[in-house]
Every structure is written in structure tokens, then in C-alpha cells.
Structure 1
Amino acid sequence: MPLVTTKEMFKLAYEGNFAIGAFNVNNMEIVQGIVAAAKAENAPVILQASAGARKYANSVYLRKLVEAAIEDTNLPIALHLDHGDSFEICKQCIDDGFTSVMIDGSHHPFEENIELTRKVVEYAHERGVTVEAELGQLAGIEDDVNVSAENATYTNPDQAVEFVERTGVDSLAIAIGTSHGAYKFQGKAKLDFERLEKITKMLPNFPLVLHGASSVPQEYVQMCNQYGGNIPGAKGVPEEMLREAAKYGVCKINVDTDLRLAMTSAVRKLFTENPAEFDPRKYLGPGRDAIQKIVQHKIKNVFGSSGVASKLK
């Protein structure tokens, strides 16, 4: 089957109170690990490319890797641009064959964000591509996204309604306390579920998105540190909070940091235990296996999207 958009995915997720996993990809092994997990769970999946990924791997290579994944698995897969910060970048990715794009105008004033988003929506919808936008700003650092804690802002529910109505966007990334990177919380983790519930009630049947939603599993943090890493104090979003969010219209949950931790811990372990190894297949293979393991766990035990891929074919 060809690449799909997120439209039918989100409709199914909203009605079923589950979320679709959106996983960032950078190379072949990451793509293979993600889709192997999705195939094992018969789950739809969103593979997304950030600015850093496109600089590293080139959009054409990423698209071809995703096309190969579809040929290999016959799964419903969407190719999504993560955090496009201009109309030109979104246009380029749409023209390159992406089936979904995110225009992130959250760093602009409200009216400018609306104007930019509406421009992308008009171009994308004419070509059958879905659009995600962002209102409010998440703190943290990940690739080209860098927002300080003092500049982070939660999504205003009233503005969210006006934004969706005036832009025609297909989904909206909201800020309720998640953040990018491996250091999401100091002290107890907390998400503003009251704000989320209010936005959901004010935007019925409209798909919401959580960015910065990696859980930062401590087993991988400990493994990285055990085998020469230096990432003390990393903390993510508890998985039970993500499961709860899916009950309130969150149809897409983004994961990047967890993939990095899983792959890096496996590679570090292999190099420490086998210092003479220099065959990339011998260390990237275990990294790929670690990706599959964590993605399969997310799909089955956190997002609840196992077994629904056949409903989208």
C-alpha cells in the first residue's frame, strides 16, 4: 500500500481512545526497528523527520527508506515532517512526497502563527497532505528546537479553538507540561490534565498531539551510564500519564529521546564488552533490536494501538 496521511489514523484513534505512535527516524536501522515493532503488533505508525534528520540523512533517503518499509510490511505508514519552521520547508517536504507536515509557528505571535499555518494548510490540502500545527511552547532541547523554561507557555484553550477554526489545521500540538529532551522534570512529574480536558471539550472530535512525550526509561539511562555515558538525572513523562492523555483526544504521541537512549545503551554495551569490534553490523544490529523492543512496548502497553492496522487497509 502507498504512504497514507494521518487523517484516518486519527479518526480511528479518537474513536477508540488510543494514540498513534510518532517516532523520529534518522537512519536505516531506526526505521527497521520501528517498523519491525509495528509489524509485530499489527499497528499503524507515523515515521517523522526533524530538521536534524533531514540534514543528516537527506529527505530523499528518508523517503526511500520509508517506502521500503511499506513494501516490506504493507503497514499503513505516514511520513511526517516534524517541526517545520517555515512555509518553504513544508512546501519542499510536501513536494518531496511527505504525506503529513508540521508547521511550527509557536515562536511567532498568535496572529502570525495563524497566518503562517493557514498558508501551509492551503498548499497542503490542495495536494492531499495533512497538517499539524503548534500552539503554546514546550521547553527543552531536541535537534533545532531550543526553548528555555522561562519562555515555555501552556496552550490557551480559547486561543486553541480560534486557531483551529481560522487555520483549518488537521491536528494541534498542545503544551500541557511535556518538554523536549531527556531532562523533562525536576521533582515530581506533572501534566495539566485539567487544561487538556478543557481543550478536548472545546474541540470535540479534533485530534491533539503531545510532543516531548518520551518516558526516558531508567533502565536505558542506567545502562548508558554503566557503559561510559554521562546522563545523570534524566527523567521523562510517566507512561501512565500518556495512557491517560489518550483518553482526552490525544491521538499522536511523539517519541524520539527514548529511541536514542535505547540504541545508544545497546551500542555502548557492545563496545565495552567487545572493544575489538569494528563491524558496524555487529553494533548497529543490537541497536536496531533495542529500538524494536522499546517501540513494541510503547505500541502495546502505552499507546494501545496494537491490532488496528488492518482497519486502515
Structure 2
Amino acid sequence: MALVTTKEMFQKAYAGGYAIGAFNVNNMEIVQGITEAAKEENSPVILQVSAGARKYAKHNYLVKLVEAALLDTDLPIALHLDHGADFEICKACIDGGFTSVMIDGSHHSFEDNIALTKKVVEYAHAHGCVVEGELGQLAGIEDDVNVSAEDASYTRPEEVEEFVSRTGVDSLAIAIGTSHGAFKFKPGQNPQLRFDILEEVAKRLPNFPIVLHGASSVSQEYVKIIQQNGGKLDDAIGIPEDMLRQAAGMAVCKINIDSDLRLAFTAGVRQHITANPDHFDPRQFLAPGRDFVKALVKHKIANVLGSSGAAK
């Protein structure tokens, strides 16, 4: 099976009331953990690459790792650029084998965002690639994305129809209260998603796939996974998983998951090294990281995204 775009994935997800997980990848073990979990859950999956990942692992290495995952799983897999900053990086990824790209013009004015997004869409569609745009800005830090709470803004539903119509984007990332990074809220805070905004966007864009970024979520199940492997999450409060499941049952067809993977992978490595300080073979301590990425992804697919069994 070849890499696919997200078009058919999202059509099925919208109709089925579930979301596809878009998991950020940085190395072989993370790719393996994600795709082994997806295979066991028989779920389609989006593997996405940030600017930071391309700098760290290099474009060609990541593409070949994803192609290896295709051979190993025979699943519907899309390769997506996360938070493309400009036309040039989107073009490089399209030319280099990606089947989906995000152009993040959310920090520009509305008109400049439209102009940039439309330029990427025209090039991408001419090369068989789909495009995700963004309206509204999430607070938080993720690789090269750094938005202060003061600069964050909710998506304005009255703008979405014009944006989609004028740009031709295939999906739209919106801001309804999620946040980039692992440590989103302080203890005692009560994270809430603006479902009223999501509902209004869905009314204005019927049957159109919506995307949630910054959707790391620390459930009790997740806390157990991390704590059992030496991690500490006492101060980590994410988006409640029941809220994400609710969003997946509405118009949200893609939910991005990155920080949760990093926490799980690091906890597995840390636990092994702490218990076995004399080990020096990277395979010995990277394997537990991969195992806990796999466990986490299986949990997300089955209990948050609802996409188990959807790879038909």
C-alpha cells in the first residue's frame, strides 16, 4: 500500500463520529510504537513531522521510516507536515513525498493568511497533496511554535466560510481552548473546550473536517502508564479525554498528539536507565520507550479517538 492523503480518512471519520490520530514522529522507535499500536487496533493513522523533527532526523530519513512502516503494517497512512511556516517548507515536503501539509498562517492578518494558504493549496493540489489551514492561535510552545497566552485567540466562526471558500483548503485547524505543550494548566485549573465555537463552525462548514492541535491529555490511565515507568506528572494537566472524545464525535476528524508521546517515551527510557545504570546499549533503553509509546497510542485510539477497526 502507498501513502494516502487524508481525504478519504476524514470522510469516513466525519460519517463515523470518530477522529484520526495525527502523531508526531522524530525517530525509528516512535514510528514503530505508533504504527504497531495502529496495526493492533486496525486503525488508520497520520504520521506528522514538525520543523524540529526535520532538523533533527532530516527529511529523507523520516520519509523512509514511514515507508518502512507501510511495508510492515499495510495500513492507510498519511504523511503530514505539521505547522509549515511558509510556502517554501510546504513545497519541499510536497516535492519530497508528503501527502498532506499544514500551512500555518494564523499569526498573519486574515487577508495575508488567505493569500499564503491559497498559494500553498494551488501548488499542493496540482501535485496530489491535501492542505490543512488554521484560523485562531493556540497558546503554548511546540518546537518552533511559541505563542503567549496574551497573543492566543479563539477562532472566529464568522470567518471560517470565507477562509475555506477563498483558499480551497481541505481541512481547518481551529482554536477552541486546547494548548501546545505538556504542561498546559496549573493544578486547580479546570480546562474547558469551547464547544459552542465548534458547533457554530460545524454549522457554517457542514461535513467539513476540523482539526484540533494542542490536544495532549493526561487521564488517570495515562498517569498510571507514565508513573509505572518512573515519570512524574504531578504538575501536568491536559485536556480531559472525555472532552476530546466529544469533539471527535462532532466535526473534529483529526486530533494532534505530540507531547503525550514525548512524555511516554522519556518515561520508558528513564525507568530503564534508572533500574539498569550499567546498560550502555541504546537498544536496551530505547525499546522500553517504544513499548510505552505503543501502549499510549493504543489507549488513545481505543478510548479517545474512537478509530479502532476503521482501517477497512
Q: TM-score, normalised by structure 1?
A: 0.96
Residue-by-residue CA offset, 1:103-135 (whole Å, 9 max, x unaligned): 000010100000000000000001110000110
CA deviation after TM superposition for structure 1 residue 88, in Å = 0.3
1:13 maps to: 13
1:149 maps to: 149
> 1 CA distance for matches of 2:223 and 2:174?
26
> 1 CA distance for matches of 2:176 and 2:135?
11
> 2 CA distance for matches of 1:212 and 1:170?
20
Q: Contact 2:48–2:82 at 8 Å: present in 1 too? A: yes
Task: Determine if the alignment matches structure 1 residue 242 to structure 2 residue 247.
Answer: no
Q: Contact 1:220–1:261 at 8 Å: present in 2 too? A: no
Give 1:219's aligned amino acid: K
CA deviation after TM superposition for structure 1 residue 223, in Å = 5.5
Q: How many percent identity over aligned positions?
A: 68
Aligned length: 307
> 2 CA distance for matches of 1:127 and 1:253?
25
Matched ranges for 1:1-313 at <5 A: 1-186=1-186, 187-216=189-218, 217-219=222-224, 222=227, 226=230, 232-310=234-312
CA deviation after TM superposition for structure 1 residue 185, in Å = 2.2
CA deviation after TM superposition for structure 1 residue 221, in Å = 5.6
Q: Secondary structure at the match of 1:52?
A: helix
CA deviation after TM superposition for structure 1 residue 154, in Å = 0.2
* Unaligned 5+ runs, structure 2: none
Q: Contact 1:221–1:234 at 8 Å: present in 2 too? A: no
Residue-by-residue CA offset, 1:266-298 (whole Å, 9 max, x unaligned): 111111111111110110001100011000111
CA deviation after TM superposition for structure 1 residue 234, in Å = 1.5
> 2 CA distance for matches of 1:32 and 1:103?
27
> 2 CA distance for matches of 1:145 and 1:87?
16
Q: CA RMSD in A?
A: 1.2
> 2 CA distance for matches of 1:296 and 1:34?
8
Q: Contact 2:225–2:296 at 8 Å: present in 1 too? A: no
Q: TM-score, normalised by structure 2?
A: 0.96
> 2 CA distance for matches of 1:252 and 1:290?
22
CA deviation after TM superposition for structure 1 residue 168, in Å = 0.5
> 1 CA distance for matches of 2:199 and 2:6?
22
Give 2:65's aligned amino acid: L
* Unaligned 5+ runs, structure 1: none
